[in-house]
């Protein structure tokens, strides 16, 4: 599957979860249900993936953790906050840069409109 095909499946799963659970839960609840929904759709899901940082030829283990990595092609960063900040957006872009993954999805489940709170972040992705 391409990144865009995976993204379509992710968005559908997010919509289902939001419709059934609504806003206001902890990120861990949304993460668990999203893992279930994505696996149900046949996607390979890795949770809390430790990613090392290489700095001046030194590899620092577990420097950060991705919330979810889907099919080794798409990062999902899950939030349940009152409002997404610039820092949340920068976090996803940094994850994409450090992993050389092309697509990230930032989602904030704690919102009145989930449609406005699923944001695609791109790192050299063809938009085909």
Range of the domain at 13: 3-122
* In a domain? residue 69: yes
Number of domains the chain contains = 1
* DSSP reduced 3-state for 53: strand
Q: Nearest 5°: phi and psi at 17?
A: -65, -45
* In a domain? residue 42: yes
* In a domain? residue 101: yes
pLDDT digits (tens, 9 = 90+) for 10-26: 999 999 999 999 999 99
Average pLDDT across the chain, whole number? 92
Q: Is 95:66 a contact under the CB 8 Å cutoff? A: yes
Q: What is the mean pLDDT of residues 48-63?
A: 82
Reported as a pLDDT band with limits 50, 70 and 90, residue 125 is low
* Helices 27-40 and 3-21: angle between axes, nearest 10 degrees: 120
Which pLDDT does position 128 carry in this prediction? Answer: 44
% of residues, the chain, pLDDT over 70: 95
* In a domain? residue 127: no
Angle (CA) 85 89 93, round 5°? 160
pLDDT digits (tens, 9 = 90+) for 31-48: 999 999 999 999 999 999
* In a domain? residue 78: yes
Q: What is the CATH number of the domain that holds 80?
A: 3.40.1350
* In a domain? residue 26: yes
* In a domain? residue 128: no
């Amino acid at each position: 599957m391409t990144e865009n095909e995976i993204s379509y499946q992710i968005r559908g799963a997010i919509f289902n979860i939001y419709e059934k659970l609504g806003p206001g839960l902890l990120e861990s609840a949304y993460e668990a249900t999203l893992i279930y929904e994505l696996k149900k759709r046949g996607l390979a899901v890795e949770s809390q993936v430790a990613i090392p940082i290489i700095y001046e030829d030194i590899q620092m283990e577990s420097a950060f953790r991705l919330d979810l990595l889907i099919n080794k092609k798409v990062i999902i960063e899950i939030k349940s906050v009152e409002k997404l900040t610039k820092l949340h957006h920068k976090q996803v872009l940094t994850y994409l840069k450090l992993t050389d993954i092309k697509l990230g999805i930032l989602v904030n489940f704690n919102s009145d409109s989930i449609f406005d709170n699923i944001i695609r972040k791109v790192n050299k992705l063809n938009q085909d």
